[in-house]
Amino acid sequence: MKFERKHAVVLLAVAVWTVVIWARFIRVLIVSDETNKWFYIAHSVLIVVNFGIALVLGSWGWRAFKATRTSPDSPSD
């Protein structure tokens, strides 16, 4: 599959969105008065997994974005 710039932008946007949403959830989790330790464990695992997904999508998006840039010395058609 050949990535185009629009694909790269979507991947980067999803990665940023995921980080922003889960970072906000971390703040909510910190101020929560929930006393169940499994609540914290489950949501901490979700946060780590989603940050990992964001990292993968962000790296794919960044590589695709760099690959779709036109260099000044490339011949134009």
Q: At 72, which helix (H) or strand (E)? A: none
Q: Look at residue 25 and tell me whether its pLDDT is greater than 80.
A: yes
Does the structure show a pLDDT above 90 at 76? Answer: no
Could you give the C-alpha distances from 49 to 5, 52, 53, 69, 72, in angstroms and in order? 26, 5, 6, 30, 39
pLDDT digits (tens, 9 = 90+) for 48-70: 999 999 999 999 999 999 988 86
How much of the chain exceeds pLDDT 90, in percent? 62
Q: Would you state the pLDDT for residue 8?
A: 93
Alpha carbons 18 and 33: distance in angstroms, whole number: 24
Query: How far is residue 47's CA from residue 22's CA, in Å, rounded to a whole number?
Result: 6
From CA 50, how far away is CA 31, in angstroms rounded? 20
Flag whether pLDDT at 77 surpasses 50.
Answer: no
